[in-house]
Amino acid sequence: MIESRVLPTDYVTEPGRFRTSTGKTLKTDEMIINMGPQHPSTHGVLRLEIVVDGEIVVDVIPHIGYLHRCFEKHAEHMTNYQQVIPYADRMDYLASMNNDWGYALAVEKLLKLEVPPRVEYIRVIMAELQRIASHLIALGTFGIDMGAFTPFLWCFRDRERILDLFEMTCGARLLYNYIWVGGVSHDLPARFVEKAKDFCKYFKPNIVELNNLLTYNEIFIKRTANVGVLPKDVAINYACSGPMLRGSGVNWDLRRDDPYSMYNKFEWDVQVGKGEMGQVGDVWDRYIVKVREMEQSVRIIEQALAAIPEGNVQQAIPKRIRPDHGEVYVRTESPRGELGFYIVSDGSTSPSRVKARSPAFVNLSVVPEIAHGCMIADLVAIVGSTDIVLGEVDR
């Protein structure tokens, strides 16, 4: 397998510092190492087959599928459209609300269904809270990848508050099954709005604290700036999305550019990487985009909480949904990027075909491209910055 592949040779000459005094490049034997599936920093069960020359990564081949649970096939075999939602929960288990919402939106589009305004507000609040929770994990685990353990636990402390809010709403802390086709499973409990406002107030200073501890740490900047640079054109060619794409300086956010639900009614900004510490599209840019998106999410949540109307939380729909013949593709902005659901209906009570376009899978595919010639420690940084969730990569 290795012989058939042309190994890049420029990695020895490129950094310049790996030459001997006589100008010859230091050429040693390459070693093939398995990084994963059981490895602390592959964020689950990703397996990276890496060819290393000492500390330098010559080639990376990601192997996926260790967490494949046949989501798409399961979805076709349900007896009801609603029954797919718990499975969608389990795709990206760090952002279940966003998955549910994406699927529910797709089915609602098939049904040409309008949901009550209160539902829209609840969904926006939940999705943005979920985005913060997901980004917190991404940033915390990225800190661990960089060797800083403390930010991880600080992030988990804040995420705990969000999970408490979810728990009081729907009883679950990880896999919610909350956003249903036509509405949400329960109305918001009493005092939810108040507690969510408290959370926003509590959370804003904590972002500053995280920045002081990790983001602007000199060592952290040295480790992340100019590392794993993903140029704009490569990002677009590989169909990257989410913070990965915005980190490369592409101003593209589905919440603004292909608005769904209520997003165009709120005031918020799309964050892009500006290359403040190094080049545009480096690991630090992808990191800072996530930090700033959390601030924007807080803004959205505050506006939504202030404006949330009273009303019904479940549109009257038949118990067994039978959409007309047809197909639909709906894309939403999940914390990881463009999460799309393509659903084909044959007029029966279950979908004929469901295809999920998972952003983590697409973002992962660009890793071998940008990891050439980096060091093992950089590879860890790059994988960490793509913020993959293997549940979604493998589905």
Partner 1 sequence: MEELGKTILKLIPVIGDQLADISVLVFVIGAAPPLIFILLYALVTLYTEMKVSAHIQDRVAYMYTGYHGILQPVADILKLIQKEDTVPDSADKTLFRLAPYLVFIGTYAGFAVIPFSSAYMGSNINLGVFYLIAASSIVVIGLLMSGWASNNKWSLLGAMRSAAQLVSYEVPTALAVLVAVMITGSLNLNEVSKFQDGGIQNWILFGGPMPITQKLLLLPFTFITFLILFLAGMAEVNRTPFDLPEAESELVQGFNTEYSGMKFAIFYLAEYANMFLVSAVATSLFLGGWSSPFGSFMSGPVWGVFWFVMKGMFFVFVQIWMRWTLPRLRVDQLMYTSWKVMTPFLFVCIFAVGLILVL
Binding site for partner 1 (CB under 8 A): 17, 31, 33, 39-41, 52, 54-55, 143-150, 153-154, 157, 213-214, 217, 219-220, 222-223, 375-378, 380
To the nearest whole angstrom, how small is the minimum distance from the Cβ of residue 92 to partner 1? 22
- Measured in whole angstroms, the distance separating CA 130 from the mean position of its chain's CA atoms is 11
Minimum distance of partner 1 from residue 258's CB (angstroms): 36
How far apart CA 374 and CA 51 sit, in angstroms, is 11
Closest to partner 1 by CB, 9 vs 150, is 150
Query: 42 or 134: whose CB is closer to partner 1?
Result: 42
Residue closer to partner 1, measured from CB, 17 or 24? 17
Instruction: Provide the 8-state DSSP code for 60.
Output: E
DSSP 294-317: HHHHHHHHHHHHHHPPP--SB---
CA distances from 106 to 63, 317, 339, 341 (A): 30, 15, 11, 6
Q: How far is the CB of 275 from partner 1 (least distance, A)?
A: 20
Where helices occur in 114-260 by DSSP H, the ranges are 117-145, 150-170, 192-210, 218-224, 232-237, 243-247, 254-257
Nearer to partner 1, 145 or 285 (CB): 145
Provide the 8-state DSSP code for 262: T
Q: What share of the chain is helix, strand, coil (3-state, %, to 5)?
A: 45, 15, 40
Q: Can you tell me the distance from the alpha carbon of 185 to that of 80, in angstroms, rounded to the nearest whole number?
A: 16
Nearer of residues 119 and 381 to partner 1, judged by Cβ: 381
Q: Considering the complex, what minimum distance in angstroms separates the CB of residue 200 from partner 1?
A: 20
Report the 10 Å Cβ neighbour count for 202: 11
User: Which residue's CB is nearer to partner 1, number 96 or number 385?
Assistant: 385
Closest distance of CB 132 from partner 1, Å: 18
Whether a cis peptide bond, with omega within 30° of 0, leads into 351 is no
Q: How far is CA 67 from CA 43, 47, 154, 395, in A?
A: 12, 11, 28, 7
The least CB distance from residue 280 to partner 1, in Å, is 21
**Closest approach of partner 1 to the CB of residue 14, in Å:** 13
Min dist CB 242 to partner 1, Å, is: 23
* Cα 35 to Cα 42: distance, rounded to the nearest angstrom: 7
Q: Which is nearer to partner 1, 140 or 340 (CB)?
A: 140
Reduced to 3 states, what is the DSSP secondary structure of residue 51?
strand
Give the nearer residue to partner 1 in terms of CB position, either 144 or 393: 144
**Amino acid of residue 21:** S
